[in-house]
Chain A
Amino acid sequence: MTRSEFVALLSALFTDRQQHEVDAAVHTIFQHLAQELGKGKRVELRGLGSFGTRQHTAHVGRNPRTGEAVKVGEKYVPYFRAGKELKERVNRRNHGMNQHCVSELPSLSEPH
């Protein structure tokens, strides 16, 4: 689903405002989150999860295609850690009910 599809669905739920206002609000939120993560802040949204940055030290990596060694400088990497509710709902709903996910599972699975 793209952002515009998400906004269309959201504006059907949130009828107080017009679609372009809903779009602007979604934009405000994610732009703000990106900015604050850029400043090194953490974001914690109960139910959804938390965002933050991790510092990766400089290391020698490899170009996966050529196998060549490449120096990778120290850098910050954004991460997302799913919250309890998101994890549980994604797993409950999909595992066992959704054919797509189940079809990807190897046949040896079973223990629950």
Chain B
Amino acid sequence: MGTITRADLVELLQKENGFSRQEAVDFLEQMLELFIQTLEREDSLKLSGFGTFGVRSKATRVGRNPLTGEEALISARCVPFFRPSRFLREEVNRKRKEKGTSA
């Protein structure tokens, strides 16, 4: 099954929104940059119908190197998270429920 990439979105913007190829490339570039900047400023981003992106701070903790089993201190850090909207969670199940044997 194919993976959606930037190139697919460029094509989509050309087809659906009448953007020229160059416009679509620039648009995506700027949108993704603004997206990252928003999270960098530690603002959350709520996209209705899709989900919420945000940043969580994690405290220092002791982890383990999965390869060697050695214990290691993992420093405190900020990590991005995504919480899918109810719509997206339903969308992901809607079509596939029918063909599967799922309850």
Contacts and interface: CB of A to CB of B under 8 A. Distances in A.
Interface of A: 1-3, 6, 9-10, 13-14, 16-17, 21-22, 24-26, 28-49, 51, 53, 58, 71, 73-80, 82, 85-87, 89-91, 93-95, 98, 100-102, 104-106, 108-112
Contact of A10 (B16, B34, B59, B73): B34
Contact of B95 (A13, A31, A38, A79): A38
A85 B3 contact: no
Given A47-B36, A87-B80, A101-B57, A75 B102 contact: yes
Chain B contact residues, majority secondary structure? mixed
Contacts of A85: 36
A105 B51 CA distance: 26
B36 A89 contact: yes
B75 A111 contact: yes
B99 to A, nearest CB: 11
Contacts, number: 192
Interface residues on B, range: 35 or more
A86 B87 CA distance: 25
Contact of A25 (B27, B40, B75, B96): B27
B3 A43 contact: yes
B63 interface: no
Interface of B: 1-6, 9, 12-13, 16-17, 19, 23, 26-28, 30-32, 34-36, 38-51, 53, 55, 57, 59-60, 73, 75-82, 84, 87-89, 91-96, 100, 102-103
Contact of B76 (A17, A36, A38, A95): A95
Given A34-B50, A75-B102, A91-B77, A26 B31 contact: yes
Nearest to A72: B103
Contacts of B100: 74
A36 B11 CA distance: 15
A78 B89 contact: yes
